[in-house]
């Protein structure tokens, strides 16, 4: 155990039931109601003492100063010498960066207006190509918020497996399809292969000016021009906006087009509201800090290796995969920001699913398994459908029942197989509705929570060198053949290609 966590480690392990028995106001003490969404951390083992220990660690780690540097547009990504300006995309940051980001948003809006007025002909389908942060954000937004939008049919293709693209080709009419190619670097192999095949598809269908159907979303406009996309249809964004933090920038283009600008603007405003909460609220009341405190309590004190997120709302079904990239690509590191080995666990593995489906599949392990898994439930007060209210009522009741069952458990003397140990933690985030404003606030909450985790862990959350080696090896298999590889890899290549 590193000294860093000694104060946390020294705290007694009081059960959740006892924590409630000892504090009649626990729900208020460990919860917060913000516009559009509320947070209940009371069914976790957080205590005043644990928060004090983590607040003291925040002081030592310089969280206050790190937060100021983040919003001031200073370098917070030392290995790449960059700022992280995703908050400036929603209007919160240093004046110059906010100004540039507004101009880029105006440019995106002008292109959307032109498309809506028919500048690119009649558009019925949007095919969005990108991967990782260039796909997961738009996918989440369109799926969560675009179900009733009815403006365009949107498909998001990320996998280089041709089946993904072929499926879209079989459904979309090339003559009415707009293609957005999203890539911060505009060098990502999967994205460029998919973009080329899409160009072929348009050409084979004799679409007039096939390249004219492409819009590029990138921080590397020169590469997009080289690829053949006209500058007027390139929507740039700043290099300092990380891929997994980029849905607020022009990467959000397919969502802004499909949902309408008003909705995209409300998303940005919801996120800005969370930015202000994070920036201006004391740690004890700051939901981003409280969320990170829960994470650190369980990873460092209880040595939990995973955390599970369950969306009790179909509209948020893609949230767990979105969070996997945000949290694991940001904080899945084994060196500190200054290059020393991390001698304690980094971020937990994020996994999850949707309720109530997951109850009938993986919840067995949560209730009775040997692993302690902190769970996060998300739900909305307002239903996503206008079917009989029994649907939504049953959904919410199940969500709340799971949290209660995990916490209280149930003894069953003489029948251990039917006993529930209980004392298993959960957080609940309840949205007023799954609307642009609350989804914006929710995603920004997760971003800042990830940042607080990183600062307290001493990690740089804004680089991702761990993904590079596999890419390098794939390139060398293509260019140098198989001779330099281990026997297992060689045998697989021979078996697949010979
Ligand atoms: O390989 C990881 C990664 O670099 C992610 O960080 C990023 O979101 C994704 O690839 C896509 O990169 P790009 O937007 O440059 O195509």
pLDDT tens digits, residue range 158-207?
Answer: 999 999 999 999 999 999 999 999 999 999 999 999 999 999 999 999 99
- In three-state secondary structure terms, 454 is helix
CA of 448 to the centre of ligand 1 (A): 20
Instruction: Please give the residue range of the domain that contains residue 487.
Output: 467-497
Q: Which atom of ligand 1 is nearest to the CA of 188?
A: 16
Is the CB–ligand 1 distance for residue 134 below 6 Å?
yes
Nearest CA to ligand 1 atom 13: 183
What's the confidence (pLDDT) of residue 2? 64
Torsional sign, CA 431, 437, 443, 446:
negative
Shared domain for 242 and 278, answered yes or no, is no
How far does the centroid of ligand 1 lie from the alpha carbon of residue 85, in Å?
Answer: 17
Question: To the nearest whole percent, how much of the chain has pLDDT over 90?
Answer: 93
pLDDT, tens digit (0-9, with 9 covering 90-100), for 257-276:
999 999 999 999 999 999 99
Nearest to 192 by CA among 169, 224, 154: 224
Express the helix, strand and coil content of the chain in percent, nearest 5 each: 55, 10, 35
Determine if ligand 1 sits within 6 Å of the CB of residue 132: yes
Q: What pLDDT score does 218 carry?
A: 98
Residue 411: strand, helix, or coil: coil
Residues 168 and 128 in one domain: yes
Assign residue 77 the CATH number of its domain. Answer: 3.40.50.10490
Ligand 1 neighbourhood includes 249 CB (under 6 angstroms)? no
140 three-state secondary structure: helix
Distance CA 26, CA 415 (A): 33
Grade residue 400 by pLDDT with cuts at 50, 70 and 90.
very high
Q: What is the chain's mean pLDDT, rounded?
A: 96
Residue 330 and residue 251 in one domain: no
- 383: CA distance to ligand 1 center in Å? 34
Are 239 and 80 in contact by the 8 Å Cβ rule? The answer is: no
Residue of 129, 160, 189, 243 with the most ligand 1 atoms within 8 Å of its CB, for mutation: 243
Same domain, 162 and 145: yes
CB-ligand 1 contact for 243 (6 Å cutoff): yes
The stretches of 209-281 forming alpha helices (DSSP H) are: 221-227, 253-259, 261-280
For atom 8 of ligand 1, which residue has the closest CA? 133
* Domain-terminating residue out of 210, 242, 265: 265
Select from 246, 265, 284 the last residue of a domain. Answer: 265
In whole angstroms, what is the distance from residue 148 CA to residue 144 CA?
Answer: 10
CA distances for 193 relative to 163, 225, 471, angstroms = 13, 16, 15
Q: Please report the pLDDT score of residue 310 as a whole number.
A: 98
Q: What is the dihedral of CA 364, 366, 371, 377, to 10 degrees?
A: 160
Q: Tell me, using a 6 A CB cutoff, whether residue 467 lines ligand 1.
A: yes
In whole angstroms, what is the distance from residue 323 CA to residue 425 CA? Answer: 19
Q: Both tokens of residue 87?
A: 């908050």
Same domain, 111 and 58: no
Mean local confidence (pLDDT), 116-132: 96
Query: How far, in Å, CA of 10 to CA of 19, rounded?
Result: 17
| Beta carbon of 131 within 6 Å of any ligand 1 atom | yes
- Kindly report, residue by residue over 302-354, the tens digit of the pLDDT: 999 999 999 999 999 999 999 999 999 999 999 999 999 999 999 999 999 99
Distance in Å, CA 274 to ligand 1 centroid: 25
Nearest CA to ligand 1 atom 10: 132
By C-alpha distance, which of 283, 261, 258, 288 is closest to 273?
Answer: 288
109 shares a domain with 233: yes
- Give the Å distance between the CA of 310 and the centre of ligand 1: 25
| Statement to judge: residues 115 and 43 lie in one domain | no
Q: What's the length of the chain?
A: 498
Nearest to 423 by CA among 129, 15, 26: 15
Q: Are residues 329 and 192 in the same domain?
A: no
CB 96 within 8 A of CB 88: no
Could you say which of 239, 265, 291 is where a domain stops? 265
- Give distance in angstroms: CA of 242 to centre of ligand 1: 9
Cis, peptide link before residue 356, omega less than 30° from 0: yes
| Whether residue 347 is found in the same domain as residue 227 | no
Number of domain units in the chain: 3
Q: Whose CA is nearest to atom 6 of ligand 1?
A: 243
Determine if ligand 1 sits within 6 Å of the CB of residue 188.
Answer: yes
Residue with tokens 């929570």: 449
Same domain, 146 and 91: yes
- How many angstroms separate the CA atoms of 267 and 256, rounded? 10
- Of 79, 82, 84, 134, the one to substitute when testing ligand 1's pocket (max ligand atoms within 8 A of C-beta) is 134
Supply the residues annotated as catalytic.
Answer: 329, 360, 471
Give the number of the atom of ligand 1 that is nearest the alpha carbon of residue 218. 14
61-67 mean pLDDT: 97
Q: What is the pTM of this model?
A: 0.97
Number of H helices, E strands in the chain: 20, 11
343 and 282 housed in the same domain: yes
Number of the ligand 1 atom closest to the C-alpha atom of 329 = 6
342 and 213 belong to one structural domain: no
The CB of 394 under 6 Å from ligand 1? The reply is no
> Does the pLDDT of residue 375 top 80, yes or no?
yes
Residues 6+ apart with CB under 8 A from 365: 371, 373
Task: Give percent of the chain with pLDDT exceeding 70.
Answer: 100
- Classified as helix, coil or strand, 206 is coil
Q: Judge if the beta carbon of residue 54 lies within 6 A of ligand 1.
A: no
Question: How many whole angstroms from 244 Cα to the centroid of ligand 1?
Answer: 8
- Residues 218 and 235: their CA atoms lie apart, in Å, by 7
Q: Establish whether residue 244 lines the binding site of ligand 1, counting it when its CB lies within 6 angstroms of any ligand atom.
A: yes
The arithmetic mean of pLDDT across residues 110-132, rounded, is 96
Q: What pLDDT score was predicted for residue 479?
A: 82
141 Cα to the center of ligand 1, angstroms: 18
Q: How much is the pLDDT for 148?
A: 81
Task: Express each pLDDT in 276-294 by its tens digit.
Answer: 999 999 999 999 999 999 9
């Amino acid at each position: 155990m590193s000294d860093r966590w000694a104060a946390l480690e020294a705290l007694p392990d009081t059960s959740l039931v006892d924590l409630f028995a000892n504090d009649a106001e626990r729900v208020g003490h460990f919860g917060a109601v913000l516009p559009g969404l509320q947070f209940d951390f009371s069914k976790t083992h957080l205590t005043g003492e644990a928060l004090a220990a983590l607040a003291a660690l925040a002081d030592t780690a310089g969280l206050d100063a790190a937060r100021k540097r983040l919003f001031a547009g200073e370098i917070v990504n030392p290995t790449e010498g960059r700022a992280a300006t995703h908050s400036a995309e929603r209007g919160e940051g240093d004046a110059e960066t906010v100004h540039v980001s507004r101009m880029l948003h105006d440019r995106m809006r002008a292109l959307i207006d032109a498309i809506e007025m028919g500048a690119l002909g009649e558009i019925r389908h949007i095919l969005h190509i990108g991967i990782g942060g260039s796909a997961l954000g738009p996918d989440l937004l369109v799926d969560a918020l675009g179900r009733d939008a009815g403006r365009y049919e949107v498909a998001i293709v990320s996998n280089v497996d041709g089946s993904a693209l072929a499926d879209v080709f079989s459904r979309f009419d090339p003559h009415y399809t707009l293609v957005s190619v999203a890539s911060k670097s505009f060098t990502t192999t999967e994205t460029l292969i998919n973009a080329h095949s899409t160009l072929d598809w348009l050409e084979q269908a004799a679409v007039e000016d096939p390249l004219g159907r492409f819009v590029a979303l990138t921080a590397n406009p020169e590469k997009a021009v080289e690829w053949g996309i006209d500058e007027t249809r390139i929507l740039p964004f700043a290099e300092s906006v990380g891929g997994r933090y980029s849905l607020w920038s022009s990467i959000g283009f397919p969502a802004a087009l499909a949902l309408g600008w008003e909705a995209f603007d409300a998303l940005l405003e919801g996120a800005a509201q969370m930015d202000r909460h994070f920036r201006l609220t004391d740690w004890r009341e700051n939901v981003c800090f409280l969320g990170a405190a829960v994470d650190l309590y369980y990873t460092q004190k209880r040595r939990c290796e995973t955390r599970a997120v369950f969306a009790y709302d179909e509209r948020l079904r893609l949230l767990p995969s979105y969070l996997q990239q945000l949290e694991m690509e940001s904080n899945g590191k084994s060196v500190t920001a200054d290059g020393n080995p991390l001698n304690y666990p980094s971020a937990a593995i994020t996994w999850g699913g949707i309720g109530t489906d997951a109850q009938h599949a993986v919840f067995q392990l949560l209730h009775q398994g040997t692993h302690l898994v902190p769970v996060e439930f998300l739900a909305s007060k307002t239903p996503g459908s206008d079917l009989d209210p029994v649907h939504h009522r049953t959904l919410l009741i199940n969500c709340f029942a799971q949290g209660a069952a995990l916490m209280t458990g149930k003894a069953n003397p003489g029948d251990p197989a039917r006993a529930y140990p209980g004392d298993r933690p959960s957080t609940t985030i309840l949205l007023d509705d799954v609307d642009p404003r609350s989804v914006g606030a929710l995603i920004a909450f997760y971003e800042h929570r990830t940042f607080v985790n990183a600062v307290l862990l001493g990690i740089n959350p804004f680089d991702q060198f761990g993904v590079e080696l596999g890419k390098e090896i794939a390139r060398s298999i293509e260019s140098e053949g198989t001779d330099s590889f281990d026997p297992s890899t060689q045998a697989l290549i021979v078996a697949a290609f010979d």
